[in-house]
Structure 1
Amino acid sequence: MNISKLKLEIFIPETHLAKLRQALQAVGAGKIGNYDSSLAYSHVTGTWRPLQGSQPYIGTCYEISEAPEIKVEVNIQAEALQETLKAIRDVHPYEEPVINVIPLYSDKGMGNS
């Protein structure tokens, strides 16, 4: 299966949104046709429970934590995945950031959106 485009979903504290946006722009994420730096974001609430050995940015081991976050959605070229993931991790404050990678399909065939 040849997938040329992906969508990333990234969950991050609002305080780090500007740094994330700059990092994504620096690696060319968000290019759609004749536009670049395209992304969408929405306010969400994240929950988690740090386990033994973790070093949470927010929260205490073995206690459920809840905090406002921003969900960022951005398209990338599949060949830029590793570079983009590194750029995200370089600016992300979480020990284990949530980054979902989703292949994109179109009516023109897989990966041609």
Structure 2
Amino acid sequence: MSTVYKLCFYVPASHLEEVKQAVFAAGAGRIGNYDCCAFQVAGEGQFRPLDGSRPFIGQQGEIERVPEYRVEMICEENALRPALAALRLAHPYEEPAIDLWPLAPLPGPLPE
């Protein structure tokens, strides 16, 4: 049995659907007989571009606050590299924030 991961990333609202669709097309977000499975929640991201950066939004040296979404989905090990490559390609930020956790297998059926 291969490892299953929880993939989490933050994306500006303007690019939410584009990035999700790219990651889904690469194989992430599949659970059993379902695909395009994700959880998303709106929030506000904050960052300050430093010297040498090429920010998509904001100016070097100034703190920027942006409406963003946190998106979480399951990703099987065989789709992990393609999903991360698709995420980075579709994402507008120079350095997208990405979290990745290996998940423990769920226990067998629970008694009724």
Common topology (TM > 0.5) = yes
- Match of 1:59? 58
Consecutive unaligned residues of structure 2, counting only runs of 5 or more, are none
- Match of 2:104? 105
**2:58 alignment partner AA:** G
Q: Secondary structure at the match of 1:51?
A: coil
- Match of 1:34? 33
- Match of 1:93? 92
- Give the Cα–Cα distance (whole angstroms) in 2 for the partners of residues 66 and 14 of structure 1: 12
Deviation at 1:3, TM superposition (A): 6.1
* Alpha-carbon displacement from aligned partner over 1:68-98 (angstroms, at most 9, x marks no partner): 1011101101222111111001110000001
Q: Please tell me whether the aligned partners of residues 24 and 83 of structure 2 are also in contact (alpha carbons under 8 angstroms).
A: no
Deviation at 1:102, TM superposition (A): 1.0
Residue correspondences, number: 108
Percent identical residues: 43
TM-score in terms of structure 2 length:
0.88
Shift >4 Å, 4+ stretches: none
TM-score in terms of structure 1 length:
0.87
